[in-house]
Amino acid sequence: MNYYKTVSFTCFDNSLDAWIPEVWAAESLALLEENMVIGRLVHTDFKDEIKNFGDTVNTRKPAEFTAERKTANDDVTVQDADATNVAVVLDQHIHTSFLIRDGQESLSMADLIKEYLNPAAKSLAKMVDLILLGQTYQFLDNAVGTLETISTVTVKDLMLDTREKLNENLVDMEGRNLILTTKMETEALKEDIFLSAEKVGDQGTALRTASLGHKLGFDTYMCQNASTIPTAAATLQADYLNADAAIGDTALTMDGGALDNGQYFTIEGDEQPLRVLSGGATVNVVSNRGMRAATLTGASNTYELTDGAVDLAGHAGVTTYAAGYSKRIKVDGTGVPHVGQLVAFSTDAPVYIAGEYSIVAIPATGYIVLDRPLDAAIANDYIVNYGPKGDYNFAFHRNALALVTRPLAQPKQGTGAISGVANYNDLSMRVTITYNGTKQGHLVTLDVLAGVKVLDTDLGAVMLG
């Protein structure tokens, strides 16, 4: 493969070659693609058009056709072959910056790749995967399985139930993928049908590489960034159903009035993340999702105490995080969040605020970063509601999600910066190098401008475990 747009090199033995930005961009892009998991499995869209953060571009959702009947003398029914345009905001400007100090810059390109470029590109790949996997929670209406029930005995049945869910939604058999958490993969690899060479038919490849390959209709992958939430964010509390609940019910009668609007909870026998839509602080609550299992009076309801609150004291002069805000959010309280965890907000009244997110980074104690910009503004002391613990595996067709990238503009000549952009396989990477006189070294920034969009929630499902 030639990842270089305008220049390619076979060796980088001197310092001159090592500081060509096009080479950095090409190498970075190659490493980015190599280290992504889900980023290579979703629908991608790229055009060689320079764009800025916040711009809206259009990607195309593949067209669907319906077969028609005709008689001998009828004309054929002509259907529109145009794919549907889907607007995507380029609101994911992801970057990694690092300083190469004087004395280190004489390293060859091979050494620079090993010491700096490789880990920098991996950090970008991890963030892209976390953002894409964060969209898993947008597919919870198609959940199968129950939280905290992973075992070797259940993993095959879970995969078959997930397959059935996609079949019910008429998802094309070709192009189905399944991303497993590390815990789920471990249990799957204990199952004989996934490893026995005579049953798998792969001459023992799965046993040697611990790769699940194509199983039960899915191209199956383990991703270390898939959401495994090992412990609750706060102290777990118990309540009980005070009336039977049928499949599909959202109106639930509880024994006490302990749940607040916006709070997450699970019910024994159903074990999916539910959130109080209305009726908080009363015995009659309405959840944001219907029950997936009939549940009898007396079933335990597990929920967490008020987990945390937005703390704007960490941002001087800021009174709210406005809709569209995409950087660090400061939180306090007793809750301890985890990367990959489901999270939502409610007012301090409390009042339910729509929008469910995934935590993609905890850059410092007391700060979280979400998978996408805020859908609605949040203010100081708004409640932070963390989702329940467990494993969230993601099954999806390629066309369920889109990763849209566009090239970034290069700095103007004469500004003291050198920059290169590489485009390959529907991805774009920019590298910019400047000299920092105060810190006595070259500042290198790798960045990607992207947008992520859920195209069709019927094309994916969450496999809870």
- Among residues 365, 369, 364, 367, which one has the least CA distance to residue 340? 369
Answer yes or no: do 443 and 422 share one domain.
yes
Q: Given this model, what pLDDT does residue 270 score?
A: 92
How far apart CA 338 and CA 59 sit, in angstroms, is 32
Whether residue 277 lies inside any domain: the answer is: no
pLDDT tens-digit profile, the chain (465 residues): 333 333 333 333 334 456 688 888 888 888 888 888 999 899 998 888 899 998 998 887 766 667 777 778 877 877 766 667 889 999 999 999 999 888 776 666 667 777 888 899 999 999 999 999 999 999 999 999 999 988 888 899 999 999 999 999 999 999 999 999 999 999 988 877 666 544 554 544 444 343 578 889 999 999 999 999 988 877 777 888 999 999 999 999 998 888 999 999 999 889 999 999 999 999 999 999 999 999 989 888 887 666 799 999 867 778 899 999 999 999 998 888 999 999 999 998 999 999 999 999 999 999 999 999 999 999 999 999 999 999 999 999 999 999 999 999 998 888 888 899 999 888 999 999 988 888 888 899 999 999 999 999 999 999 999
Q: Given this model, what pLDDT does residue 440 score?
A: 87
Q: Given this model, what pLDDT does residue 81 score?
A: 63
Q: How far is CA 145 from the centre of its chain?
A: 20
Answer yes or no: do 342 and 385 share one domain.
yes
462: left (phi over 0), alpha (psi -120 to 50) or beta: beta
What does the H/E/C string look like for 231-281? Answer: CCCCCEEEEEECCCECCCCCEEEECCCCCCCCCEEEECCCCCCEEEEECCC
Answer yes or no: do 385 and 436 share one domain.
no
Answer yes or no: do 426 and 448 share one domain.
yes
Answer yes or no: do 406 and 382 share one domain.
no
At 312 the three-state DSSP class reads helix
- Among residues 451, 329, 445, 439, which one has the least CA distance to residue 380? 329
Answer yes or no: do 432 and 374 share one domain.
no
Question: Structural domain tally of the chain?
Answer: 2
Q: Show contacts of 273-279: CB within 8 Å, 24+ apart.
A: 273/140, 273/147, 273/342, 273/387, 273/388, 275/344, 275/352, 275/356, 275/385, 276/352, 277/250, 277/352, 278/352
Whether residue 274 lies inside any domain: the answer is: no
Whether residue 190 lies inside any domain: the answer is: no
Whether residue 201 lies inside any domain: the answer is: no
Answer yes or no: do 418 and 380 share one domain.
no
- Among residues 359, 389, 385, which one has the least CA distance to residue 259? 385
Q: Given this model, what pLDDT does residue 300 score?
A: 85
Record the pTM: 0.86
Answer yes or no: do 370 and 434 share one domain.
no
- List the domain range (segments joined by +) for residue 90: 15-60+84-124+400-453
How far apart CA 175 and CA 398 sit, in angstroms, is 6
DSSP assignment, residue 226? S
- Among residues 33, 56, 31, which one has the least CA distance to residue 44? 33
Q: Given this model, what pLDDT does residue 147 score?
A: 93
Torsion sign over Cα 138, 144, 149, 155: negative
Which amino acid, one-letter code, is at 41?
L
Whether residue 327 lies inside any domain: the answer is: yes
How far apart CA 211 and CA 56 sit, in angstroms, is 38
Q: Given this model, what pLDDT does residue 208 score?
A: 39
Whether residue 92 lies inside any domain: the answer is: yes
- For residue 285, the cross-strand partners are 252
Whether residue 364 lies inside any domain: the answer is: yes
How far apart CA 233 and CA 29 sit, in angstroms, is 36
Q: Given this model, what pLDDT does residue 284 score?
A: 95
How far apart CA 43 and CA 23 sit, in angstroms, is 27
Domain boundary among 347, 363, 389: 389
Answer yes or no: do 432 and 382 share one domain.
no
Answer yes or no: do 19 and 113 share one domain.
yes
Whether residue 212 lies inside any domain: the answer is: no
With contact defined as beta carbons under 8 Å apart, do 111 and 27 qualify? no
Answer yes or no: do 323 and 355 share one domain.
yes
- For residue 460, the cross-strand partners are 396
Answer yes or no: do 324 and 416 share one domain.
no
